Structure 1
């Protein structure tokens, strides 16, 4: 483990795990990192950095990078000169392998929407790192929405959770309007979330979705 990472997390790990050696610590710990840190570690950031964190869990040392890139549409009917019609959302988890960082997984969404109204964004406050099932492996939850339509309409909303190779999701629409004139708000969970062992994940996805699905 790199010394600079061990120094920052060792006190927390020792506090939670008493006198156990660092590799045996099962607690999931995380701390924010800056764009300068990512550059020093030679981790590329596509577009603008939204959120980044160092994570220590039973699987070792990880870096979470969430970013967004905007640009001109690549569609055939795009209007020349409009530089914000294509939105690319990225969330990646890297693991340290010897002296390099290797990407473990990638969440990627592209919203290429020329001519009509478009937007996309993450909800940084609700990008979470947890250990809900207490197995020592971090879960990363990433909520985001995107819009491609004319006039007032709901956005597509996704809340994605990754725990290693496992992926869980809550998908639907944001809720728009007030009083009797409300529409959207649909929600569909992945079928795997109906299993008893995944109940804690489903509850967390529902919690995050409920925090972000109302358009304000």
Structure 2
């Protein structure tokens, strides 16, 4: 009988260790940042932000990058300004493995002879585990504008969880002095409308944080000729 009890206790102890190990593997955690030099090895030339983490699928690395250049307009055949934003999620199974792309979101904006303002909202573009299921949710938010006045920016917010994607697209809300507000409309994807409450609440919170931001917070205007104001 004593031998039987010892075997039973050992089995229970082993089962507990396996259970704890399984729980640990499901936990989401943020890891120390990857050095910029290692990001360049991945082909990222101008990283804006990166988030290093581990979830149930292994080690992950979100990298936001931007490139500025020129393009040729297909209709006018004239050169236009071009900005390309890329959000890439890399992954690897072990620290000794090489990071490989899992998916990429690319946004290209061209603009001819007008003000071009394109960038990520880096403060709300992040990675977390909202529903505590061990699978990371990756949120990427950006804005774009091509115009000659104070008009709404186009806003794009996308969240990915594994293979699932949820989006909000719309325009920022502009309230000129003494005039009626302009913009502020949004459209939620069908997948977001059918998502769990915690995911819908998160996406709405991100939208609420960015859609009322004035022009100056999206991208401070540059005063090309300060003497004009003095005159």
* TM-score grouping bracket, smaller chain normalisation: 0.7 to 0.9
Q: Quick check: 2:51–2:126 contact (8 Å CA) kept in 1?
A: no
How is 1:48-67 mapped onto 2 (pairs within 5 angstroms)? 48-67=46-65
How is 1:164-175 mapped onto 2 (pairs within 5 angstroms)? 164-175=162-173
Corresponding residue for 1:211? 209
Distance 2:77 2:201 in 1: 41
Change (3 A) 1:208 1:78: farther
- Greater mean alpha carbon deviation, residues 96-105 or residues 159-168: 96-105
Q: How large is the Cα RMSD of the aligned pairs?
A: 2.3
SS at match of 1:50: strand
Structure 2, unaligned stretches of length 5 or more? 1-18, 215-231
Distance 1:71 1:187 in 2: 29
Q: CA deviation at 1:23?
A: 8.2
Structure 1, unaligned stretches of length 5 or more? 1-18
SS at match of 2:99: strand
How is 1:64-103 mapped onto 2 (pairs within 5 angstroms)? 64-76=62-74, 77=76, 85-96=81-92, 99-103=97-101
Q: CA deviation at 1:149?
A: 2.2
Deviation per CA, 1:33-78: give whole Å up to 9, x if none.
3312323xx31114x2111121100111111111011111332447
Q: TM (normalized to structure 1)?
A: 0.80
Q: Quick check: 2:51–2:127 contact (8 Å CA) kept in 1?
A: no
Corresponding residue for 2:186? 187
Q: Quick check: 2:169–2:188 contact (8 Å CA) kept in 1?
A: yes
Q: CA deviation at 1:79?
A: 5.5
Q: Quick check: 2:60–2:91 contact (8 Å CA) kept in 1?
A: yes
Q: Quick check: 1:192–1:198 contact (8 Å CA) kept in 2?
A: no
Corresponding residue for 2:129? 131
Corresponding residue for 1:34? 35
Q: CA deviation at 1:177?
A: 2.0
Distance 1:78 1:183 in 2: 33
Distance 1:117 1:78 in 2: 19
